[in-house]
């Protein structure tokens, strides 16, 4: 009879450490940011929250980018990731 190898092979995409899992999560998020995205947004006029919703964009914006929403010019103050969505904090330009 032939010898049986005791070596187990793992699937190629197997992540076997916490740091590996974090790296894989960051890599997958980066892939999502290269194409069209739907973002949750919170728009403020000063300290007052004036609008929330979902916004389809060609790419994920960066802090400082300007967006036009409902005819108003807004600047991106923060970009975060929560749950399964990108979350934008927008502020009305005066």
Over residues 40-83, the pLDDT tens digits come to 999 999 999 999 999 999 999 999 999 998 889 999 999 999 88
- The SS3 call for residue 1 is coil
Given strand 85-92, what is the order of strands in its sheet? 48-57, 37-45, 85-92, 72-82, 66-69
State pTM to two decimals.
0.62
Contact status, residue 62 vs residue 37, Cβ threshold 8 Å:
no
The pLDDT tens digits of the residues spanning 27-38 come to 555 544 567 899
């Amino acid at each position: 009879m032939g010898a049986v190898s005791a070596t187990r092979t793992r699937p190629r995409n197997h992540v076997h450490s916490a740091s590996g899992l974090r790296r894989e999560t960051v890599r997958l998020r980066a892939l999502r940011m290269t194409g069209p995205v739907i973002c949750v947004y919170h728009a403020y006029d000063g300290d007052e929250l004036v609008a929330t919703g979902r916004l389809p964009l060609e790419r994920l914006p960066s802090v400082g980018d300007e967006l036009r929403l409902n005819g108003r010019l807004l600047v991106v103050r923060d970009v975060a990731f929560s749950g399964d969505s990108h979350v934008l904090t927008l502020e009305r330009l005066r």
